[in-house]
Amino acid sequence: MPPDIQKPNWTFRAINRTIPPTMFPAALSPFTALSLLGLGAAAMCAASVAAAVAVGSRLGLAPGWRALFHWVPIAAAVSVSRFMGWTEVSIGLIFGTSIAILSSAVGSLSTIAPVGPAPARWKRIWPFTLAAALIVFVSGYNGLLTWKHGLTLGMEGIVILSLWRDPVSEHEWGGSISDPSRPFVPPHFAWVAVGISILFAGLGTYAAVHGVAAMTQLKSHASPGAIAATLLSLVLATPLMQSGRGLAMTGASWIPMTANVGVVLLNLCLLLPLLAMIPYAEAIFQAINFAARPLIDWSTFSPRATVFPLAIWRIDSVVLVLLSAILLPAAVGKWNLGREEGLLLIIGYCVYLMGVTAAGV
């Protein structure tokens, strides 16, 4: 049964609709709003490219580090938009980038070489995307992301981390397989590229959110969540489509595939739980009485749980479950994703972009 939008907690006074007045760009022309959005999207794309350069500068980089480097600009964008009071944009970025990775990025890999053959140690991590997607889908039934949902997703993240770093199965992960392409920059420049990625992601998100906020004043406009899930997520995820091309050509497509899964799991099992927990942490801080000594006045403790936007629950969470289910046979070794499947994933992502854009107008 869909969420009841008449419930008291499902209102525009909820946290993801609370826009700080100082963050709202008043009286901006449509041209200025579009310019800010375009400049912000370009900067976010540059941030993602910088992260890809950091990955490309380290030949033989383990899948976990590849995932972390690619995830850095996404995390920075989500953090800045949440700090500006636009939780709807943050949630849109989490779901939009996750869907883009599982569809277009995985589809691009599949068109180069079959995705499926991989060491058992890494393939056992792939099915956790379906578990996380199902938890997120169930969380949307009451229209809120509460501390219980955040705790559940966080516990799954701990389990995944234990499997990722399992000392029993610790062995040479396959680092002898390296990308045949030459690195663009020296290896020691990787961390500089990561810093540049964070800077551009923060500045780009700041400009893009101002543009999105100004566009809400127009008579006809797309919703902030739709813009975040389509345009902004696309520019953040696009470099991942080419990041593992060299490895896929050598028959090691499982390395970028595992990195892609890692980025999605970081989104769902770390960023999303943080968004669910932040209102409770803020409520505790506001309930502290500093008059005599720090003391929590529980009578004033009144957290406003993060709203799960209805459109994202109806479209994005369902698409995320379907994509994770499609990848499940490849994860258990029953099916390899080939060129035909890759093209279907890419076409499906294009349909998703058009559907979300139409629904958000």
Domain boundaries, the chain: 24-169+184-360
Taking the C-alpha atoms of residue 349 and residue 196, their distance in angstroms, rounded to an integer, is 29
pLDDT tops 90 at residue 92 = yes
Neighbours of 357 (CB within 10 A): 16
> Tens digit of pLDDT for each residue in 108-118?
988 888 887 77
Comparing 15 with 341, the larger pLDDT belongs to 341
pLDDT at residue number 190: 80
Taking the C-alpha atoms of residue 214 and residue 210, their distance in angstroms, rounded to an integer, is 6
Question: What's the whole-number average pLDDT of the chain?
Answer: 82
CB within 8 Å of 204: residues ≥ 6 apart: 39, 40, 41, 42, 43, 44, 45, 46, 47, 77
Taking the C-alpha atoms of residue 234 and residue 122, their distance in angstroms, rounded to an integer, is 26
pLDDT at residue number 1: 42
pLDDT at residue number 166: 60
> Tens digit of pLDDT for each residue in 281-327?
888 887 777 665 667 767 677 788 888 988 888 899 999 999 999 88
pLDDT at residue number 181: 53
Thinking of the domain 24-169+184-360, which architecture would CATH place it in? Answer: Up-down Bundle (1.20)
pLDDT at residue number 119: 81
Task: Note the Cα 335 to chain centre separation in Å.
Answer: 26
Report the percentage of the chain scoring pLDDT > 70. Answer: 83
- Name the band, by pLDDT with cuts 50, 70 and 90, for residue 217: confident
Comparing 220 with 195, the larger pLDDT belongs to 195
pLDDT at residue number 171: 45
pLDDT tops 60 at residue 22 = no
> Which has the minimum average pLDDT: 40-49, 108-117, 179-188, 223-232?
179-188
pLDDT tops 70 at residue 86 = yes
pTM, 2 dp: 0.86
β-partners of residue 279 are none
pLDDT at residue number 360: 77
